[in-house]
Amino acid sequence: MRQLFQTRTILLLITPALSFLALFFLLPLVFVLADSVRDPGGLTLQRYGDFLAQDQTRNVYLRTLQLGVIVTGLAALMGYPAAYLIARMPANRRALAMSLVILPLLTNPVARTYAWLVILGRNGFFNQAMVGLGLIAEPIRIIYTENAIVIGLLQLFLPLMVLTLVSAMENIPTDVEEAARSLGAGGLQTFLRVILPLSADGLVLGGTLVFTGSITAYVTPAILGGTRVLMLATLLQQRAIVLLDWSGATIIAVVMIMTTLLINGLLRQLRPRSV
């Protein structure tokens, strides 16, 4: 009886959010998917085949995936220490640290991206500082390279990784770490065998958010990569906005969605079973 009551309550509680998503996300998504496999003669996967067969689209897809993986990996590497520190802070300082973490999310994405032009440009702050310190002789080209895109995306999505990791690590009691140490585990071992498995859910969620954001971002790669580095979102914009080629744009959009689902599934599989 209690079980039944719980199920009903849960259903009631999620109905508003679920119906919103069903109406404004799932249903349109179904139409998009349907359009992408429909053809006057019946059903076809031809357009997906073409997408992967063309050198250009395939290369752009692979580069997008590659940059997504790099950004996600770097975000995890940089996010863990920060999240660990924040999770172990006393409550009042933690609140302050969290608001500092989300500060970059509060700036306008377009303004933020133009600011990168000022920082990373030939005569920008970064190059001037490096030349001034004598670390490099000549200003180096950063803007309009893949590196610039990685920097821009990392700044954009690192907060998401830190936030999800913090909430995952807050739930790990400090006793567990002490127990590990008292049993002789070193710092690295404690991290790998205790902290990492216990915060794996946060890592999966954060990783999915960062990866999804990175492969679908438009403004940052378009401006920081310029003409020389094409990403999937740039192709999508060309097809949809410039050529009004909805069917071509649909294929790219579906590939993006499928990739995200796939990566999410993969990350879930990698998660330790015991948790």
Q: Could you list the residues that contact another protein (CB under 8 A)?
A: 26, 29-31, 33-35, 37-38, 40, 43, 56, 60, 63, 110, 114, 117-118, 121-124, 143-144, 222-223, 226-230, 235, 237-238, 241-247, 261, 265
Contacts of 272 (CB under 8 A, 6+ apart): 197, 200
Smallest separation (angstroms) from another protein to the CB of 260: 13
Of 35 and 178, which CB lies nearer to another protein in the complex structure? 35
Of 99 and 247, which CB lies nearer to another protein in the complex structure? 247
Residue among 273, 153, 157 at smallest CA distance from 205: 157
Contacts of 265 (CB under 8 A, 6+ apart): none
Of 128 and 189, which CB lies nearer to another protein in the complex structure? 128
Q: Which amino acid is at 270?
A: L
Dihedral class, residue 142 (left if φ above 0, else alpha if ψ from -120 to 50, else beta): alpha
The DSSP output letter for 218 is: -
Smallest separation (angstroms) from another protein to the CB of 76: 23
Smallest separation (angstroms) from another protein to the CB of 86: 29
Smallest separation (angstroms) from another protein to the CB of 107: 16
**Helix, strand, coil percent values for the chain (each to nearest 5):** 80, 0, 20
| CA separation for the pair 257, 133 (Å, rounded) | 45
Of 197 and 226, which CB lies nearer to another protein in the complex structure? 226
Smallest separation (angstroms) from another protein to the CB of 90: 35
Of 32 and 97, which CB lies nearer to another protein in the complex structure? 32
Query: Which residue pairs, CB below 8 angstroms and at least 24 apart, start in 93-99?
Result: 94/166, 98/163, 98/166
Of 90 and 132, which CB lies nearer to another protein in the complex structure? 132
Smallest separation (angstroms) from another protein to the CB of 229: 6
